[in-house]
Amino acid sequence: MWLPKELFPRQSFEQLETIAVFSMMIFLFVIGVKADLGMIPKAGKKAVFIAVLGTLLPYVSVYGMVTALKHELPPRFRNTPLLLVMSDKWCLTSYAVLSCFLSDLDLLTSKLGRLAMSATLIADFIHLFADACIGTYLLAAKQGDPMKGITGPVAFFGMVGFIMLIMRPLVLWLIRRTPEGALLSEASQVAVLLMALACGLMSAIIGFDFFAGPFFFGLVLPGGAPLGTTLVERVNRLVTGLLMPVSMALAGLRMDLASVTEPAQWAWLEGFTVLCVVAKFVGVILPCAYCNMPHRESVSLALMMITKGIYEVGNALAWRQAQLVDDQLYTVIIISIFVFGGSTAPLVKYLYRPEDRYVAFKRRTLQHATPDDELRILACVHEQDNVNPVLALLEATGPSPDSPICVYLLHLIQLVGRADAVIHLHKIKNATTSSWATTQSESDHIANAFRLFEKQYPGGISVLPYVSISPYSTMYDDICSLALDKNTTLVIVPFHKRIGDDDSISSANDAIQAVNLNVLQYAPCSVGIFVDHGLSDGASLLHHVAVYFLGGADDREALAYGVRMVERAAASLTVVRFLPPKEWREDGWEERLDDKMLMQYRQEWVDEKRVMYREEQPKDGEAMVRLIHETSPEFSLLIVGRREGKESLLTAGMSMWSEYPELGVIGDMLASTDFGGEASTLVVQQQRRVTGEQSLDNLEPTPIHIGKRQLQKEDIREVAAIPNELGRLHRKGAAARKVLERRMVVRASDHREGVFATTISSNGDGGRRLLM
């Protein structure tokens, strides 16, 4: 015990308490600035119900139990308002605690995370005003002087008016004086922090705790740049890295386990604590059940709402300083905070997996897309340098009125200076002044570039721009959610490294690499990672495209994209298939699918002028690399499959030297500066997450029967035409479907790659609906 006494002697506790109060005020002010009050009017009925019932039920439960057991309570609880004060604080979920909790679990952008943040902010905001008005009046009435209850609300609204009418305009003036993209000056920063501390002093003078004023002051200020970014860059690290740990150390030093000697007192306190937490848990579950939320999500949300943390520790320290609790009760409260705060995080992480919902229930691939249908692409950009390469790729895709493309543009912005991640449709701004072009944001520039591109292809392409502001750790959630909601076929993301004209790496962002890896893992459709080597710099509109084909689902998806490009006259396509030596070849299901698709490509498209096909038989991987190095300069765009987990004898051992796993073996080689390639590369991964299956191509076919006869290989092509015929009949209407239903009965269906693994028999008039 000598070490704590030497590090934190008793005579230094007053200084530590001052640091604790100061750090808590600044911390809550920063959280308030990061918060977005715009969430309150946008919140739905579900968030309001959760906020109201989740707050009222625990307080009413504790109040009713205290009233019913008033004569049985120990004098410590009967003669002090400890239980009611504690229930008043614990019936809430601290917005500061929850935002940090969700950030640590990477759930800020999740559906439940946004719902929990909205409900918490609503409850905190309502409680702040209710406590100022109703609570103050009831306390004064209980003391026998109801008129004193009027002074409290008047003083509170006076503080609110002073903040809104004087302090807020002053801070906005300081923000306007800051150049765009810059941080606040040091003088402005100090002025803002002093105003936050003054708000804490005002709130303490009028009867509230020190924390209410700074938090409310932060709520009414705009988050993001430049104020939010300044606080994060200059203040947040000091507070969270140094001052707050000292505060928590003080909270721990105040504990005295040896003082927990009266089971009657701490058992009563712990009982009411558990009652409050359980009542809040139930108060969150009931609205969720009424709104038909899944049980797993309801329990996860309730666990989020009962988490405890730094705010409750600050309250405990304040109660200890005000002698509302003694050492024994203070120790029990801190232990309870540790238990509830430490247990909820692993439970939520186990129960709630938002990525489980990124499973599509139909194929969203280029290979299986109908040529005449609209192709939906989600194009992601991080900065303006990503715009021209993506536009060049879209141009090569061939938008036309006969084969339209719908592009969902998603500008991805790192969340800095805000606590709530947002994704919204970009709003069109009208250029009413000549200076507008110089003051518009980066999102405006990006959206306008895509809108200009849209005008160049009337009827052939439509653009819907979105903006996502989220931390890199959860950015993939916005990408996958938008791809799922908009039924996109392809997601295009930029490579995380920018390659200069001299093949040098001009910039790199490892956080973007992590985003791309997560998108590849969870995307509900096919994904393409675009490595730009100057596709948009060429003066000619003729794109020379090559597909290097080794085999597998990803390579077939790459070939399907290449075929999509040659449907327009301004692109040429060469497919180079690498075949291993005969003694290495296999004759499995994957190889038959490869042969089938390549045969169709050769029959329908190859003309040896604009569309060509080559077969190369390198003796080993070194020979294949040499062939790629020799042929790649002929093309402006290379399309390859990622082939993750697909090992070929020609690529055996090459994965050991891969630097970028998201590109696969061939894509990694083409993107390497040592390779010296000048062609841009698109690495394609076919959709993997369909109806719970990790891959569309992991299923083996089961025997196909017509009547009692099993189909042979030569019959498969005839049966394979059934799905396409069904699709055409489905579009023609119910009458056409009935004609087909009278012809056959389908008793089971497990189809893949256009082949039904099913039992089919003739049935005259008694047909049943085909299961798709």
Token pair 């692109």: residue: 571
Helices (H), 109-211: 111-130, 136-142, 148-162, 168-176, 186-205
**What tokens were used for 360?**
């599509």
Are domains 36-159+223-354 and 375-426+441-685 of this chain identical in fold?
no
- CA dist 528 → 383, 409, 567, 719 (Å): 18, 15, 20, 32
**What tokens were used for 129?**
């005003």
Bridge partners, residue 746, by sequence:
760
How far apart, in whole angstroms, are the C-alpha atoms of residue 379 and residue 368? 20
pLDDT band per the 50, 70, 90 thresholds, residue 757: very low
Identify the pLDDT of residue 8.
62
CATH class of 36-159+223-354: mainly alpha
Computed on alpha carbons and rounded to an integer, the radius of gyration of the chain in Å comes to 32
Nearest residue to 526 (alpha-carbon basis) of 415, 759, 363, 667: 363
Identify the pLDDT of residue 542.
59
How far apart, in whole angstroms, are the C-alpha atoms of residue 759 and residue 745? 8
Domain positions in the chain: 36-159+223-354, 375-426+441-685, 705-762
**Cα 167 to chain center, whole Å?**
35
Bridge partners, residue 682, by sequence:
530, 639
Identify the pLDDT of residue 651.
78
Token pair 């992590």: residue: 514
**What tokens were used for 283?**
């108060």
If phi over 0 gives left and psi between -120 and 50 gives alpha, with beta otherwise, what is residue 675? alpha
Is residue 325 pLDDT above 50, yes or no?
A: yes
Q: pTM value?
A: 0.78
More reliable by pLDDT, 65 or 75? 65
How far apart, in whole angstroms, are the C-alpha atoms of residue 562 and residue 639? 7
Residue type (1 letter), 10: R
> What angle do the packed helices 13-34 and 212-219 form, to 10 degrees?
20
More reliable by pLDDT, 348 or 211? 348
Least confident of 118-132, 133-147, 203-217, 475-489: 133-147
More reliable by pLDDT, 671 or 275? 275
Identify the pLDDT of residue 116.
92
Name the range with the highest mean pLDDT among 186-195, 253-262, 712-721, 726-735: 186-195
Residues 635-660, mean pLDDT to the nearest whole number: 81
Identify the pLDDT of residue 409.
94
How far apart, in whole angstroms, are the C-alpha atoms of residue 546 and residue 552? 17
CATH tag for 375-426+441-685 (out of 3.20.20.80, 3.10.20.30, 1.20.140.10, 3.40.50.12370) = 3.40.50.12370
If phi over 0 gives left and psi between -120 and 50 gives alpha, with beta otherwise, what is residue 182? beta
Positive or negative, the Cα torsion across 206, 211, 214, 220? Answer: negative
Token pair 């190889």: residue: 591
Is residue 582 pLDDT above 90, yes or no?
A: no
Inter-residue contact 548 to 511 (CB < 8 Å): no
Residue 209, CA atoms < 13 Å, CB-side half-sphere: 22
pLDDT band per the 50, 70, 90 thresholds, residue 429: low
Inter-residue contact 34 to 419 (CB < 8 Å): yes
Other Cβ atoms closer than 10 A to 651: 21
How far apart, in whole angstroms, are the C-alpha atoms of residue 526 and residue 634? 27
How far apart, in whole angstroms, are the C-alpha atoms of residue 677 and residue 269? 71
How far apart, in whole angstroms, are the C-alpha atoms of residue 649 and residue 551? 12
Fill in the DSSP letter of residue 400.
B
Share of the chain above pLDDT 70, in %: 80
Give the pLDDT confidence of 354-370 residue by residue, as tens digits. Answer: 877 777 777 888 888 87
Other Cβ atoms closer than 10 A to 342: 12
How far apart, in whole angstroms, are the C-alpha atoms of residue 268 and residue 265? 5
Angle at 146 between CA 143 and CA 151, to 5 degrees: 105
Identify the pLDDT of residue 636.
87
How far apart, in whole angstroms, are the C-alpha atoms of residue 106 and residue 94? 18
**What tokens were used for 29?**
């002010």
Residues 158-177, mean pLDDT to the nearest whole number: 92
Other Cβ atoms closer than 10 A to 360: 19
Identify the pLDDT of residue 740.
40
116: Cβ contacts below 8 Å, ≥ 6 apart: 93, 98, 102, 301, 304, 305
Other Cβ atoms closer than 10 A to 367: 22
Is residue 314 pLDDT above 60, yes or no?
A: yes
Residues 437-447, mean pLDDT to the nearest whole number: 68
Fill in the DSSP letter of residue 755.
B
Residues 338-354, mean pLDDT to the nearest whole number: 90
How far apart, in whole angstroms, are the C-alpha atoms of residue 364 and residue 360? 8
756: Cβ contacts below 8 Å, ≥ 6 apart: 704, 719, 720, 722, 723, 746, 749, 750
Token pair 């390469």: residue: 389
Angle at 201 between CA 200 and CA 207, to 5 degrees: 90
How far apart, in whole angstroms, are the C-alpha atoms of residue 462 and residue 444? 17
Give the pLDDT confidence of 548-571 residue by residue, as tens digits. Answer: 999 889 999 999 999 888 876 567
pLDDT, the chain, mean: 79
Bridge partners, residue 527, by sequence:
491, 685
Is residue 576 pLDDT above 90, yes or no?
A: yes
Residue 619, CA atoms < 13 Å, CB-side half-sphere: 0
Is residue 766 pLDDT above 60, yes or no?
A: no
Share of the chain above pLDDT 90, in %: 26
Identify the pLDDT of residue 402.
83
Is residue 406 pLDDT above 90, yes or no?
A: yes
Inter-residue contact 328 to 261 (CB < 8 Å): yes
Give the pLDDT confidence of 486-496 residue by residue, as tens digits. Answer: 999 999 999 98
Give the pLDDT confidence of 272-312 residue by residue, as tens digits. Answer: 999 999 999 999 999 999 988 989 999 999 999 999 988 89
Residues 326-346, mean pLDDT to the nearest whole number: 90
Bridge partners, residue 709, by sequence:
706
**Cα 729 to chain center, whole Å?**
39
Identify the pLDDT of residue 13.
72
**Cα 709 to chain center, whole Å?**
51
More reliable by pLDDT, 91 or 146? 91
How far apart, in whole angstroms, are the C-alpha atoms of residue 671 and residue 669? 6
